[in-house]
Amino acid sequence: MPDRYLGRIIGKYRVARHLGSGAFSWVYEAVDLDLEIPVALKILRPEFAGEDAVASRFRKEAATAARLRHPNIVTVRDVGQTDGVPFVVMDLYPLTLGRRLALVGHLPESEVVRLGIGIAAALAVAHANQIIHRDIKPDNILLAASGDGVVADFGLAQALAGQEILGTTAQVQGTPHYFSPEQARGKALDGRSDLYSLGVTLYRAATGRLPFEGEDWYAVATQHVEVPPPGPRTVRPELTPEFEAVLLRLLAKAPSARYADAMQLIDALAALPSAPVGSDAVARYGATTVDVVRASGRPAKRVLWATVLVVAGALLAWLARPRAPRPTVSVPAITSPAPESIAAPDPAPETPPSRPTLPDNATGTPRPPVPPRRGAILPRAVRLHVTTADSAAIYVDNRLVGAGAWSGELPLTTRLVVRAVIPDAPTSCRSALHDTVITDLVAGRRFDVHLPVRGCSVVRYRVEPRDARVQFVPLDGGRPVETRADSVESYSLPWGRYLMRISAPYCIVFSDTVVVSRVPMPTTVPRKLVCS
């Protein structure tokens, strides 16, 4: 069981809580006792410790990620072994893209484009090192506090130059919903397979749906090979045609019909109207890729020069391309709440329209913009003030705006959906999410919204006799929970104080107060009733 490591010290890391489980490993939040910082600790499950193939894959995953240095690739801090079981230590991120999509459904196009640029930059570096990921999907994309995507889990990564990290080319490995057609058919793969999987990931993030669904993996894989994907704008009409064209090109059945490489995809995403203004992903990618290619020593000199020329050409194209005026897109981080900007007001009919600063034809000096006339009609807006738990993220109309508390002005509309969620709470924790819909909005009025949310922790107990009834009565408000001792030996409860009552026929009722907090109970609570 994953709980076996909770509270233990492994190497120089104290295990704090269980974050998730994979097919071969458990992932925990731990504390580096030397640096006193939180880290992610990935441990090979003990039942696989004796299997050389699995242990080799686990170690090589760490080696693969460790030699790829890029802001959008997870950093491996340490590797080690405890009781014969290997572990890997990485930077800790509070949220995955998969978890966020499970909470909010889909993301605004501008955020999806930003994620796509960062993930493509990470893939460009991996491909320059002759490595393909083979399992790009939302659960393998971590989210930094800045909102950027960070690629993790190189467990299925494979070298392009003949040195295979796992398995053979003909093996079908990965996640079926994110397979490329050539991956589903067990064909030879190159970097364009990762681009297809990234296309599925961005499609899911932008529309809230997968392009292909089925009853089993074979049905899904068949659609990847044979069925055209539905247009993203048929699902979300608000998406721009330019972004839809990028997604459909990524999801082309033939690799030759997709983008030639990740750098070409970066350029296409950065040129979209919805791309973040001032994005430095292209420049950051260029410098990093040249360094990685030079350090790897594997590509020939002509490959290095070709990469340099491609990067230089992309940078020149990026700097030289025409810049049409477009609204600034802001992607606020969870840790830095910021009010949403209000669209510029439409001028009154009798007011000359305001214009951006333009050069004067005669002198070449800039002319200041024309200020609005006195009495011009200002945009109608409402003020919103949201409070929730300090650790909870706040979303307004599916857009992340801050954490803990947020205030701002929003354009007047018919309804607003406000949601608060604790990002790292398990999906079974219903108290970690609370949302509300505000109607009857009035211009100029302030609306105060409080969204109470609480995380959950597991309470473990062992009760005799086995047919006893176990009841948790919340002392801070809420519904009581009751179960039988022989059905479950643990229960996930929202944080708070509870009266734990245990009763059975012909036995004295036992009562005690239990405090459920962010730190899980390290041990199982034994309770034996006195019975006649």
Question: Distance of CA 409 to CAs 195, 342, 380, 447, Å?
Answer: 39, 7, 10, 10
The single-letter code of the amino acid at 331 is V
Q: Which residues pair with 366 in a beta bridge?
A: 359
Nearest to residue 224, comparing CAs of 256, 244, 207, 199? 199
Residue 401 backbone dihedrals phi, psi, to 5 degrees: -120, -20
What six digits make up the tokens of 50? 């004796």
DSSP per-residue string spanning 312-351: HHHHHHHHHS-----PPP----TTS--PPPPPPPPPPTTS
The single-letter code of the amino acid at 125 is V
Q: Single out the catalytic residue among 135, 148, 194, 424.
A: 135
DSSP per-residue string spanning 165-206: SSS-TTS--S-GGG--HHHHTT----HHHHHHHHHHHHHHHH
Residue 467 CA to residue 486 CA, distance in Å, equals: 6
Question: Distance of CA 47 to CAs 13, 174, 292, 485, Å?
Answer: 22, 22, 36, 28
Helix (H) or strand (E) holding 484: strand 481-484
Beta carbons within 8 Å of 100's beta carbon, 6+ residues apart? 107, 143, 423
Residue 451 CA to residue 389 CA, distance in Å, equals: 8
Q: Which residues pair with 491 in a beta bridge?
A: 459
What six digits make up the tokens of 352? 């000359």
**DSSP 8-state secondary structure symbol assigned to residue 486:** T
Beta carbons within 8 Å of 365's beta carbon, 6+ residues apart? 359
DSSP per-residue string spanning 50-61: T-HHHHHHHHHH
Q: Please give the torsion angle defined by the CA atoms of residues 100, 106, 111 and 113, in that order, rounded to the nearest 10 degrees.
A: 120
Do 115 and 97 meet the contact criterion of CB atoms below 8 Å apart?
yes
Termini Cα distance of the chain: 35
Residue 31 CA to residue 16 CA, distance in Å, equals: 7
Is 291 designated active site? Answer: no
Greatest C-alpha distance within the chain: 105
Question: Which residues have a catalytic role annotated?
Answer: 135
